[in-house]
Amino acid sequence: MVTKEGIQAVIFDLDGLMIDSERLALEVWRDFLAEYGKELTLADYRKLIGTESLSSAQFVRQRTGIGLEAEAIVEEHWRRLTIMITKKGEPMAGLHALIRALQARGLSLAVASNSRRDYVERALVTCRIENSFRCVVSADQVARGKPAPDVYLAAATCLNIPPDRCLALEDTPIGLRSALDAGMRCVVVPNQDLDGEDFTGAYSVFNSLVALREALDMVLQ
């Protein structure tokens, strides 16, 4: 439970929350698999949203029968997605205004992403927010990706702020679980490609970053 002293830091997820990347990731998966005569359904793809990369690759391998090892799938997917995000990536509506509002309140900001470091850095540059965060932690810098709490705990450690003074911002049930298991308050802005997901445990749920910014005083109290 968050202590009475209140929130001192806000830790952002990346994909689907700060950058509109999930549709691009689906495009990458489809183009990649088509070269091998394979495909993923939209229902299959939705199961990948928020999942760490090796688990995603193992699911794709099992689902499609593609003749590549999971590690090779991971490398090729990240290579292609990093190129795609540079060309087509866009920040989510309201992101820059939200960051400015949090900075104006003197809060420390960090990123805790289930993606790998080189991709995360490229995405932040694409969104023009690469200088907005004191700490950036990616899944390849910790022992376990989300839904384990490792990335959030590492971000809190980097900020030197206790987890119970940190607010996590997420868009998926997997990310929500990671933040809650780290002992953080978590606000969810649901991923637009996920319908009817269970966000039990979230402090609050908003339909956009714009709506979240308008309710900051309530969320941060």
Q: What is the CATH number of the domain that holds 194?
A: 3.40.50.1000
**Co-location of 128 and 186 in the same domain:** yes
Specify the 3-state DSSP secondary structure of 130: coil
Q: Does 172 map to a domain?
A: yes
Residue 5: its pLDDT value, please? Answer: 64
**80 and 147 co-located in one domain:** no
- Neighbouring C-beta atoms of residue 211, cutoff 10 Å: 13
Number of domains the chain is built from: 2
Domain boundary among 47, 69, 88: 88
Position 26 in a domain: yes
State whether 173 and 64 are in the same domain. Answer: no
Residues 62 and 96 reside in one and the same domain: no
Kindly report the backbone phi and psi dihedral angles of residue 217, in degrees, each rounded to the nearest multiple of 5, phi listed first: -60, -40
Would residue 3 count as lying in a domain?
Answer: no
pLDDT in tens, the chain (221 residues): 343 468 999 999 999 999 998 888 888 988 999 999 998 887 888 788 777 788 888 999 998 999 899 999 989 999 999 999 999 999 999 999 999 999 999 999 999 999 999 999 999 999 999 999 999 999 999 999 999 999 999 999 999 999 999 999 999 999 999 999 999 999 999 987 666 788 999 999 999 999 999 999 999 98
Report pLDDT for 1.
39
DSSP β-ladder status, 108-112 and 135-137: parallel
Which of 70, 88, 106 finishes a domain?
A: 88
Domain-embedded: residue 79: yes
Domain assignment present for 1: no
**CA dist., res. 132 & res. 65, Å (int):** 42
CATH (domain of 29): 1.10.150.240
Nearest to 105 by CA among 178, 17, 167, 190: 167
According to DSSP, the residues that pair with 187 across neighbouring strands are 169, 204
What residue numbers bound the domain in which 157 lies? Answer: 9-20+90-220
Shared-domain flag, residues 171 and 74? no
